[in-house]
Amino acid sequence: MENISEAYMKCVREDTSLREELSGINETFGREALIYGKDPVRFLNVPLITDGKMYRDLEAIASTAYGILEKIAKGFVTDPSFREMFGFPKIINRMMIAPAGYSCTIPVMRLDLFYDEQTGSARFCEVNTDGTGSMKETMDINNAFMETKAFEEFTKDHPLRCISLYDELVDSILEVYSDFEYRIDEPVIAIADYPENASVPEISVIKSQFEARGYRCIIATVTEFSYRHRYLYYGDTRVDLVYRRATTGEIAERITESEAFIKNALDGRTAVIGHFITQAANNKMLFALLSKKAVTDLLTEEENAFVREHFPFTTQLKSGNYDYNEVLHNKDAWVVKPKDLYNASHVHVGCDLSQEEWEEALSEGLENDYLLQEFCAPYKKPNSFFDGDGNLVEDLFGTMIGLYMFNGRLCGLLARASRKGIISAKDGGFTMGTFLLEE
């Protein structure tokens, strides 16, 4: 896809009005950042463009990964010794093994990976099954791009298609619910999170999508549910379907406040998308367990080969089998990360740190029982952005692709980029638009 990207870069260079045309989306992101206390979204001028071959390759990778994660989740439910490897609290274990009431094991997931567009090689860096955000920023960037002259000029010779992530998500959630044991024809839907951590603009859009299909939809605070007659209630309203955005880690920290939500998870008839069994895939400890005999025995020979090819070596920093001195003196080859935080919180990438900072990161990791993971260098490609003075800045950016998996299918892409080893919005990273090249 390098030639396609270069062609788009050329349109960007030649379109002197682009900066002004994109000012609206900059204002939108800035306004939302002020209102909700977030960092403004920064984006690159050239989107990630996938052709049919690349998208089918990503579909195949996503499908195989989903099958492996589904087996692991089901193994967690059926085998008590398997559960012990994860080390979850007892109440979380109980919630995870309680019946979901529908057949899809992981309804909503995003698989983040580094993908080399030249060779097709791919290495996973994270699995997200709690909420799977960042759809709105991608869609807002795409919509802004489609209004520019650069996009108009480029698509004369290269027709591009934008996938509606909202439609894919909402349709998939309703599809999963159609298989629910206690489904009803016109469910009341709640999107549930803790307000202080919620992505309110994105949740609001998803709510409107449910309402456009004729459903009543509530934005709900997890702690404000009550539990009556084996259903969740929000005020006086019975809720039949919950799209859970609150992470399992957040709920584990607020067990008492979230009592009603937990009671429903254990024995209720309000459907929860996704069910807590998804935590078996979401927890970063998964990467360290993939080489354990209990897991390798669960998988086929082909699946184990896939794991070796696509998942980086990961171990526990405090108790894992590795050479500490080698890690200490070869920082550029390693990453230290927590087992169950998100938004790259407390993730330390050695190549971004001084030796002194790296030693501090190792100390923090040992103290808090973090994971040690092999560093996977992201694939770099040219792109550009406008700096604070309005100058066009071109450079090479490492790229991470997120595979949105809804109801077990690849339904769209997220793309982020950075000039650092870590690719994260809070660490100066950028979001990219995503388009499919029409065949």
Q: Which domain holds residue 82?
A: 2-284+379-437
Whether 404 contacts 129, CB under 8 Å: no
Q: CATH number for the domain including 343?
A: 3.30.1490
Indicate the pTM of the whole model: 0.92
Q: Can you list the alpha helix ranges (DSSP code H) found in 49-146?
A: 52-78, 80-84, 90-97, 135-145
Q: State which H helix or E strand residue 363 sits in.
A: helix 355-368
Let me know if residue 300 belongs to a domain: no
Residues 275, 193, single domain; the answer is yes
Residues 272, 418, single domain; the answer is yes
Residues 43, 17, single domain; the answer is yes
Let me know if residue 71 belongs to a domain: yes
Residues 201, 333, single domain; the answer is no
Residue where a domain stops, chosen among 375, 396, 413: 375
DSSP category for residue 292: S
Residues 165, 66, single domain; the answer is yes
Q: State which H helix or E strand residue 201 sits in.
A: helix 200-212
Residues 186, 269, single domain; the answer is yes
Residues 178, 206, single domain; the answer is yes
Residues 342, 231, single domain; the answer is no
Nearest Cα to Cα of residue 429 among 352, 328, 350: 352
If one counts the domains in the chain, the total is 2
Residues 12, 111, single domain; the answer is yes
Residue where a domain stops, chosen among 375, 394, 410: 375
Residues 339, 199, single domain; the answer is no
Q: Tokens 């006086």 correspond to what residue?
A: 236
pLDDT in tens, the chain (439 residues): 558 888 899 999 988 899 999 988 888 888 877 776 677 889 999 999 999 999 999 999 999 999 999 999 999 999 888 888 888 899 999 999 999 999 999 999 999 999 999 899 999 988 988 766 789 899 999 999 999 999 999 999 999 999 999 999 999 999 999 999 999 999 999 999 998 876 888 899 999 999 999 999 999 999 999 999 999 999 999 999 999 999 898 898 999 999 999 999 999 999 999 899 999 998 888 899 998 899 999 999 999 999 999 999 999 888 888 889 998 999 888 999 887 655 556 788 888 889 999 989 999 999 988 999 898 888 899 999 998 888 999 999 999 999 999 999 999 999 999 987 777 666 668 999 999 998 7
Q: In Å, what is the CA distance from 283 to each residue of 244, 271, 292, 409? A: 16, 22, 16, 21
Residues 36, 86, single domain; the answer is yes
DSSP category for residue 8: H
Q: CATH number for the domain including 180?
A: 3.40.50.1760
Residue where a domain stops, chosen among 330, 349, 375: 375
Let me know if residue 295 belongs to a domain: no
Let me know if residue 262 belongs to a domain: yes
Tokens of 369: 């029982």
Residues 160, 217, single domain; the answer is yes
